[in-house]
Amino acid sequence: MLEGADYWIREVGIDGWRLAVANEVDHRFWREFRMRVKDAKPDAFIVGEEPEYYST
């Protein structure tokens, strides 16, 4: 997944990532993910969602 994130930022030129259920993934992974994305594109957006906040 890290290689994919790098590819989409560097090769395709996307502006950032929306991360559904970010709370289900280990924080160490997201730190590495953020470092890779920001290295490729310092102004990239990274938005994580936690679905429990959307409950009615």
Q: Which residues neighbour 35 within 8 Å (Cβ) at sequence distance 6 or greater?
A: none
Supply the pTM of this predicted model.
0.81
Structure tokens at 17: 């990532």
pLDDT single digits (tens) 6-56: 999 999 999 999 998 888 899 999 999 999 999 999 999 999 887 776 665
Q: How many CB atoms lie within 10 A of CB 7?
A: 12
At 44 the pLDDT is 96
Q: How far is CA 38 from the centre of its chain?
A: 10
